Structure 1
Amino acid sequence: MELTFPLVLPWFQNGAFPLYLAPMAGVTDLVFRQICKELGADVMVTEFVSAEGIMQADERTRKYTEFTDEQRPVGVQLFGGDGERMGEAAKKIIGWKQPDFIDINFGCPVNKVVAKNGGSSLLKDCPTLASVASGVKKGVAGEVPVTAKMRIGWDDKTINAVEVCRILEDCGMEAIAVHGRTRSQGYSGEANWDVIHACAQAVKIPVIGNGDISTGADLERRKRETAVSGVMIGRAAMQNPWVFREAKHYLQTGQALPPVPLEDRWALVLRHCRLAVSSARYGAEKHAMMSMRARLMAYCKGFPGAKELRQRLAQVQSVAEVEDIAALSLATAADMASA
């Protein structure tokens, strides 16, 4: 299904159907975004950053806004509950390194964000949500577009996504990403694409659908059956960053690519580790590898002997340890294939 509307964001023009890498705290850092970009992701959004952290010139917070020109188009995602402060924070970010857009988080379900009247808590308070959206829009003063990411509601009794999308459109948002789950669902259950579709039909700006896209067939179905203008892929990319390349191939040919060989998967894992160690974000190798543990365990889902691999990867402190684990894994797989 296709809708026509005036477009501010160039990556939607000429019939394009962009694939976004979803912003995920502790996951979509500069290194992982680089990897996903190389594998076919079209649009990047940083991990969310606190508007108050930006206003306090907190160096740790500022690191979350870093990106390279090769990753463009890139948006920096902000969360907070004070529209004026959010606008000032957005202005500061633009002054540091002009992103292609500013994105506002109205979807995070995490308690520490909700407790600060940020993220999905604003779905229960539409006047404040509108104030935040308008404040950011005013703060950027037309220098870059402003978009938003949201969930379909606080819980299954208060699904108000269509209303919220209309409010956000009225506040000047240029696109909205809708995750098809409520805050109370977290990441459980199925994403409700009927509500996402209704949102896309209700507004004249692009709506990006998010939730349960893990294959090219998933992407093709949502593109065909709903009015979304693009999709956002999150958790599936954590395990399989090749999902972007695979999805595009399926859209173009109607055929699935063969599975990525184990050797190539381990090669990417090791490259990610080396890039993380060389990144200024994590400091010493030990700290970088400790921060990588959850990422490594996600990568090895579906590997032969995955349970034992996860137990070992949960304790690594160096790239050399991961190299040894990879070598053993590949040797064991080769022995099993020749048996």
Structure 2
Amino acid sequence: MLPWFSDGQFPLFLAPMAGVTDVTFRTICKEMGADVMVTEFVSAEGIMQADHRTRKYTEFTDGQRPVGVQLFGADGVRMGEAAKKIIDWKRPDFIDINFGCPVNKVVSKNGGSSLLKDCPLLAATARGIVAAVGDQVPVTAKIRAGWDLTTINAEEVCGILESEGIASIAVHGRTRSQGYSGEADWNVIDLAARSVGIPVVGNGDITSGEILAKRKEETAVSGVMIGRAAMQNPWIFKEAKHFLQTGETLPPLPVEERWPLIFRHCRLATESDRYGDERHTMMAMRSRLMAYCKGFPGSKALRRQLSQVESVAQLEDLAAEHLVMEHHDEDLTTSTGTAST
């Protein structure tokens, strides 16, 4: 068994998300309590061509362990060679295969969730990677419930992957055709988990410690994977663990306590060489800032300003202005309420 599932542990995974779960964000989520990390997916062909930009996606720090590097493709032999290169560069704790990505540019190359429609090819791909890696590191996989609602086959796919030597499987409870719409089907995840003897990690709509505890109690999953909820609220790992341990829901973190982590994320990003200089880094961070500030008081106007931010100093000024406005609105509400009593 993989060590992060041993001794009754119920690990919380940070889901791999392209353009989101880079080294910087993984550092933050690890500090917040995420147990296992998976890198953004990386093209096996890009690795084989020794593309420098592709190799950057495989980077991680030792402080993020256990961490896996996720590969996509549909040629098990080539992907196996790519996996060996990654292991030689910086031995990850596992190699993960992406059989779940719904994005057209991946699916059109016969990668990601497209293999859910071709189980023999999916099996051959997994077999090739497991054979190439041998006993160097475990190989895991991430899948979806199926291609569409008429072809839900997570149980079948999990059985195939187990027979090919895959050590654990993460199942997203939506089909490829759903994308990220609708609700994740945890009945499908539960049935998949009960159908195999290896750990299955549930993924989809984990937005609070209460929901996480419910999935842990009511399904056979061995862990959960949190994705989009962590984009807005990386504190979710800390909040979820607190609920699991105490049954209590922590109060929402005040906005003024959220800003310092947002600043830190931006500073760490500018210190890395991922996006270039500060201006280009902050431009790349705009979508992340939008996610962080979703639900903030006056977020509509704030998001409009964030769409033009070009430096950390400018962001700090916007935050200071936002906090002043927020407290001013609170004071007005309080005074109005007092006057009417």
Shared fold (TM-score greater than 0.5)?
yes
SS in 2 for 1:198: helix
Q: CA RMSD in A?
A: 0.6
Q: How far does residue 307 in structure 1 lie from its aligned partner after superposition? A: 0.7
Q: Does residue 189 in structure 1 map to residue 165 in structure 2? A: no
Q: Partner of 1:145 in structure 2?
A: 138
Alignment partner of 1:125 out of 118, 125, 142:
118
Alignment partner of 2:278 out of 273, 285, 300:
285
Alignment partner of 2:83 out of 90, 99, 102:
90
In structure 2, the gaps of 5 or more residues are 333-341
Q: Distance in 1 between matches of 2:305 and 2:160?
A: 49
Which digits, 9 at most, give the CA deviation of each residue in 1:103-133, with x for residues without a partner?
Answer: 0000000000001100000000001100110
Q: Distance in 2 between matches of 1:186 and 1:83?
A: 25
Q: Partner of 1:266 in structure 2?
A: 259
Q: Partner of 2:20 in structure 1?
A: 27
Q: Partner of 1:215 in structure 2?
A: 208
Q: Partner of 1:3 in structure 2?
A: none
Q: Does residue 39 in structure 1 map to residue 19 in structure 2? A: no
Q: How far does residue 280 in structure 1 lie from its aligned partner after superposition? A: 1.3
Matching of residues 1-339 of structure 1 within 5 Å: 7=1, 9-339=2-332
Normalised TM-score (structure 2): 0.97
Q: How far does residue 278 in structure 1 lie from its aligned partner after superposition? A: 0.5
Q: Distance in 2 between matches of 1:330 and 1:267?
A: 12
Which digits, 9 at most, give the CA deviation of each residue in 1:316-339, with x for residues without a partner?
Answer: 111111111110111111212222
SS in 1 for 2:329: helix
Identity of aligned residues (%): 72
Q: Distance in 2 between matches of 1:264 and 1:138?
A: 48
In structure 1, the gaps of 5 or more residues are 1-6
Q: How far does residue 286 in structure 1 lie from its aligned partner after superposition? A: 1.1
Q: Distance in 2 between matches of 1:82 and 1:290?
A: 36
Q: Distance in 2 between matches of 1:240 and 1:165?
A: 30
SS in 1 for 2:110: coil
Normalised TM-score (structure 1): 0.97
Q: Distance in 2 between matches of 1:114 and 1:264?
A: 40
Q: Partner of 2:339 in structure 1?
A: none
Q: How far does residue 293 in structure 1 lie from its aligned partner after superposition? A: 0.5
Q: Distance in 2 between matches of 1:264 and 1:52?
A: 43
Q: Distance in 2 between matches of 1:30 and 1:201?
A: 34
Matched residue pairs, number?
332
